[in-house]
Amino acid sequence: MPGLVRHTGTVWAPNLPGWRRIPLARLLKRRLRVPVVVESDRNAAVLGEAWRGAARGKSDVIALIVGTGIGAGILSGGALVRGAHELSGCAGWMALGEEQSRESRRVGWLEALVAGPGIARAARQQKTSRGQITALDLARIARRGDTRARKLFARVGRLLGLAVANLISLFDPEVIVLGGGLAGAADLYFRPLRKTALERCQPLAGQQVQIRVSRLGSDANLLGVAQLAWEAARRGAG
């Protein structure tokens, strides 16, 4: 699930109206009559990437998920980093500048600028496109050679690079995996992202970290929760 998944199996999902404290684990268990594990999508993604993806076999991994929102699943020493309130990995709230807007106050500085809706909003403001457009629509325009669209994605790469630099310096991961819906447009922003990240991060960590693009797509989430379900079944949980 997106958002906050509490250890009790209740869910707060800000993008789903009314989902403030939904007892999803209990509801699904009652309906399906099987053991149920509920997990945040960012945690599921990093588990999937470490199990069968771009970080296979690694124990210190960050999966940075960029799509409609931005989140980061974090493995340290093979264990999920959850935080005191299950809120670790809310990477969209990373503050990388002083300017604020109504949107940044609502969803976070980084997410307001470089998640899918933020990219589409910037394209409209710069008149790169007219009418309704998505970030992936804009990616197709950029690949056709549109200069303004290509510059916009280069800026996205630099901003994400700052975020990745902070993640490298804070957690010293072996691998950072870029996933989510915008991983499909990584060819347009990966180079400036990597350059900025390695220029700005802790230098010894930067010499050793690998920055990769996910090949699993949304399957990373499915594999992650499959692993959790398997572990729960072995423990007899539910």
pLDDT for the residue numbered 236: 77
Which domains are delineated in the chain? Answer: 1-38 (no CATH), 41-230 (3.30.420.40)
Is the backbone of residue 130 left (phi > 0), alpha (psi -120 to 50) or beta? beta
Q: How far is CA 154 from the centre of its chain?
A: 19
pLDDT per residue of the chain (238 residues) written in tens, 0 to 9 = 888 999 888 999 877 888 989 999 999 999 999 888 899 999 999 999 999 999 999 999 999 999 999 999 999 999 999 999 999 999 999 999 888 899 999 999 999 999 999 999 999 888 766 668 899 999 999 999 999 999 999 999 999 999 999 999 999 999 999 999 999 999 999 999 999 999 999 999 999 999 999 999 889 999 999 999 888 888 875 4
Query: What's the predicted TM-score (pTM) here?
Result: 0.92
133 SS3 class: coil
Please say whether the beta carbons of 80 and 143 come within 8 A: no
Closest by CA position to 171, among listed 68, 99, 63, 95: 63
